[in-house]
Every structure is written in structure tokens, then in C-alpha cells.
Amino acid sequence: MGAFECLRNMEQKKVMEVGGQVDETSVTLAIYGEELDPTAITKVLGCEPTSSHTKGTVRGPRGRPARAGAWLLEVRGISPKSPEELTRELISKLPKDEIIWSKISQDFDIQLRYAFHLESWNRGLDLSNEVLTTIALLGASIVFDVYCYSKTRDTQH
């Protein structure tokens, strides 16, 4: 088989797909603290959490007491909605007052948590300087969890 015939055969069948957007994303603003009162955080932020609990709360019949309180606000989306768009959506629900965030970050641990679900072994994303600056103003650290459900990488490499 000549090189041109090989190329023609490759053009006719899809061998593999590489790259593209993250298939599904969740972005969660998580505020943690031993003395955290979810009702007080809700009042200060002016929006309801997706979920919350206080230190010592037992969730589920086999659950252990929570080591800290938590206030969580989550948004989810699937491609073509990007992690950038979801982050902007989440941030739009929150107050813009830097003094509020400064006080919260002094008393509690603020995290912006991303969960990326990938149907293929190679996906990408980017976050703009504007979004990263806003995250910094919240006093939040960033946490990434990546879940890849692809079977093709193991069989082709």
C-alpha cells in the first residue's frame, strides 16, 4: 500500500478525536469553617446556597459528623457552555463588595471548586484574566477535580 492510498483510507474513517471543550462542568463556591453559620452567610451574601451544613451535622445513615460547617453554591452545565461562562454565571449571583469578601476570607476558607467531566481523554479550557481577577478578589483558592470516562485512550496507546 502506497503512502497516498494510506492517506486516502485515513480520510475515509475517523481514527480518533482529540481536543475540544470540557463535556460537563460544575463550579461551586465553597465556604468552610468550624464556626460557620450557614444562615449568617446566606444573609451576608444575599442568596440561598445549593446546600449547607454546620459543624457536627451527620448526613445520611452512615455519615460521620462534619468536621466543619459549609456553605455551597453550585452551577452546572454541559458543552458548549464553557467553564468560563459557568464561572461568570456563579459570580453574577454574588455581591461585588470587596469588604464583604475580605471579612468572609478572614474568618473562613473560600474555595472555587471545579469538577470537569470528560468523555474523551483530551479536553481543554481557559479562564480569562477578568474571571481570575474576580476569583482573587473573593479571596478564594481554586480546586480542580477531573473525571475522565474515556475508554479509547487505553485501547489506542
Q: 67-125 pLDDT, tens per residue?
A: 999 999 999 989 888 899 999 999 999 999 999 999 999 999 999 999 988 887 777 77
**Residue 73 or residue 127, greater confidence:** 73
Is residue 25 packed enough to be buried (19+ CB in 10 Å), middle (13-18) or exposed (0-12)? buried
- Residue 139 phi/psi, 5° resolution? 75, 25
Q: Grade residue 131 by pLDDT with cuts at 50, 70 and 90.
A: very high
Q: Can you give the three-state secondary structure of 138-156, one letter per residue? A: HCCEEEEEEEECCCHHHHH
Q: Which helix (H) or strand (E) holds 53?
A: strand 51-53
Residues 6+ apart with CB under 8 A from 95: 44, 45, 46, 101
Extract the C-alpha cell encoding 11. 480520510
First CA to last CA distance, the chain: 24
> Strand 69-78 vs strand 51-53: parallel, antiparallel, or unpaired?
antiparallel
Type of residue found at 31: I
* Rounded-to-integer distance, Cα 151 and Cα 67, Å: 37
Place of cell 469553617: 33
State the Cα–Cα distance between residues 53 and 65, nearest whole angstrom. 10
Predicted TM-score of the model (pTM): 0.80
Domain ranges of the chain: 18-55+68-156
